Amino acid sequence: MLVVQNILANKERYIKALAKRNFDAAPVLDQVIALDEDRRATQAQLDNTLADSNKFSKEIGMLFKNGEQQKANLLKEKTAQLKENSKDLSAKLTEIQEQLAELLYTIPNIPHDSVPDGQSDEDNEEVFKEGEIPKLEDGALPHWELAKKYDIIDFELGVKITGAGFPVYKGKGARLQRALISYFLDKNAEAGYKEYQVPHLVNEASGFGTGQLPDKEGQMYHVTGDDLYLIPTAEVPVTNMFRDDLLQESDLPICCTGYTPCFRREAGSYGAHVRGLNRLHQFDKVEIVRIEKPENSYKALDGMVEHVKDILRELKLPYRILRLCGGDIGFTSALTYDFEVFSTAQDRWLEISSVSNFESFQANRLKLRFKSKEGKKQLAHTLNGSSLALPRVLAGILENYQTPKGIKIPEVLVPYCGFEYID
């Protein structure tokens, strides 16, 4: 959520920057400014009314003490009216503050200057590519066929139990999943991220805190009986551990990692591009989250990108990095890098990670601040990244590592799996 003071100071710059997102900010920012003016005027009226009420209350005591009952009673009537006025002003102030908050919730984050112009994912900018795309034997299969051939993932059984998008992993497929989770967590821990196990359901305040709510796209599963939400990513519960906190500068940076299942409705996702593991309603993911001082956050973002690169190098998967354009970047993000692995059998790139800096956007919603050594309180910066999402990593391994003998396990995963081939 944007800070009102920053909107007042940077209105024209924000309008221009948000145009990158194809967001017409001018009328919304004008409304914010008008509401803020009304809020400040109402607050001033309320403060003056309360001050007068307190002043008269003291005078009433003195008048009664001096035997001036008539004057005292007149002031009592004025004080009673002031108290009624203060109630009305308090109610008005609350209403204005709620309207202002609701309006601010509709405004996306200001994109970083390096975010390219563009309308859709077709306009994203490739900034890095690494790894050799393997040449497969004739008759190479996509991962959903390999899953069936080696009996390691059962998509039909998932439909029977729940519905489409909820696969069942079996035998060596389940063990490979577990191996990937353990490997990712170990790599993150070695890089200084503290591991957490967090709830898989969150309350409404947590959803608002990290920007998943209000859920305009209908992607979150809502448990209506308890008014809880299934998490779309570990980012939500992990970041919300620090909601309403006032940290010390010496506490930063805070680096967290966690594994969770993730749940997304993926409303409107149909077609061949979502076959198999390409898009699921439930999937596993290991996440990294950082809380940083503002001046360090972009250096931290670069470090997160290098960390994910290192994992993909060890897995020996061909990948590329995209800087997302204004039309494709997420609502809460100031700058996002997407990692994509090349699926040789499908002959297409598959997104496997997003690494983002939210600057103070989430922190303002979370009321997550830190106190500097000089005692100044300010909003922290939050960052997060997939390290990594499992389904498409698994799809890339199955397809790129298929051989006539079977599916070779990446060398770095063999100690975790306990086997070298799926055959």
Residue for token pair 């496997």: 352
Distances (CA, A) of 375 to 28, 249, 250: 34, 9, 12
98 has binding-site annotation: no
59 has binding-site annotation: no
- CA-closest candidate to residue 125, choices 335, 353, 368, 379: 335
Report how far apart the first and last C-alpha atoms of the chain are (Å, whole number): 51
- CA-closest candidate to residue 416, choices 190, 196, 197, 175: 175
The H or E element containing residue 88 is: helix 69-104
233 has binding-site annotation: yes
CB count within 10 Å of CB 57 equals: 14
DSSP string, 160-227: HHT-TT--EE-HHHHHHHHHHHHHHHHHHHHTTPEEE---SEE-HHHHHHHT--S-TT--S-EETTTT
* Sheet order of strands, 194-196 included: 125-130, 319-323, 335-343, 348-357, 381-389, 282-292, 254-263, 194-196
Measure the CA–CA gap between 395 and 391, rounded to whole angstroms: 6
CB count within 10 Å of CB 245 equals: 16
Report yes or no: 309 and 130 within 8 Å, Cβ to Cβ. Answer: yes
120 has binding-site annotation: no
Measure the CA–CA gap between 393 and 412, rounded to whole angstroms: 14
The total number of residues shown for the chain amounts to: 423
The letter for the amino acid at 405 is: K
266 has binding-site annotation: yes
257 has binding-site annotation: no
354 has binding-site annotation: yes
> Which residue ranges make up the annotated binding site for ATP?
264-266, 351-354
> Which residue ranges make up the annotated binding site?
233, 264-266, 287, 351-354, 384
> Which residue ranges make up the annotated binding site for L-serine?
233, 264, 287, 384
